[in-house]
Chain A
Amino acid sequence: DIQMTQSPSSLSASVGNRVTITCRASQSISTYLSWYQQRPGKAPNLLIYAASSLQSGVPSRFSGSGSGTDFTLTISSLQPEDFATYYCQQSYSTPYSFGQGTMLEIK
């Protein structure tokens, strides 16, 4: 099974800041990597698929990069609605697996 490790587990930042979250796979997953945002009490929402493709309707301040085993999610200028938990997920092979999550909090 492929293990996904996110860092950091939590992050404090201010509105307007640029933040980066990293995700590492235990083996190469090509670009079969997605990023999700989850607000409290809500279902996850797809932000990025194929490592760097922006899902329709998602603001352009979100971007993704990487291939193989190392990936990043960047938010260029934090907005109040961006404070949430973020998960990466590999879909290269089953069982599909998620990172443990990164909680983004307001500083």
Chain B
Amino acid sequence: QVQLQESGPGLVKPSGTLSLTCAVSGGSISSSNWWTWVRQPPGKGLEWIGEIHYSGSTNYNPSLKSRVTISGDKAKNQFSLKLNSVTAADTAVYYCARVGGYRSFDIWGQGTMVTVSS
């Protein structure tokens, strides 16, 4: 079955760029699905970051839109998140997920903790 795995640096300096990758196994990123990123600050709730379709179309949360880019790599069967100009407020567990029926998030990666600190 489809599995997702996030990877990337666990520590990013303030004003730097957070870069994460989500590797997809057991299925193709070029399927008809959308693929999405969600984050969760320590002890807080879930925040939707944005999504990408295999065609390359993207949607972003306006609260982050000026700083975020989501891209896909069909050859490597993965998609990526870049968040610029990070601050301590961007410290969170970052999850990638597959968008399924009725645009629910039906398969999730295990999540990766990213801390913004000097």
A positions within 8 Å CB-CB of B: 1, 31-32, 34, 36, 42-46, 49-50, 53, 55, 87, 89, 91, 94-101
Contact = CB atoms under 8 A, between A and B. Distances in A.
A94 B59 contact: yes
Contact of B105 (A44, A53, A100): A44
B110 interface: yes
Interface stretch (B7-15, B23-31, B40-48, B72-80): B40-48
B61 interface: yes
A100 B45 contact: yes
Contacts of B104: 34, 46, 49-50, 55, 89, 91
A98 B102 contact: no
B105 A98 contact: no
Q: Specify the main secondary structure of chain A where it touches its partner.
A: loop
27 contacts: A31-B102, A32-B102, A32-B103, A34-B102, A34-B104, A34-B105, A43-B95, A43-B108, A44-B105, A45-B108, A46-B100, A46-B104, A46-B106, A49-B101, A50-B101, A50-B102, A55-B104, A55-B106, A87-B46, A89-B46, A89-B104, A95-B48, A95-B59, A95-B60, A95-B63, A96-B36, A98-B47
Interface residues of B, number: 25
Contacts, number: 68
A34 B46 CA distance: 13
Interface of B: 36, 38, 45-48, 51, 59-63, 95, 99-106, 108-111
Contacts of A50: 101-102, 104
A36 B110 CA distance: 15
B62 A101 contact: no
Given A49-B100, A49-B101, A43 B61 contact: no
Interchain residue pairs A-B with the least CB separation, the first 6: A91-B103, A49-B104, A43-B108, A34-B104, A50-B102, A95-B61
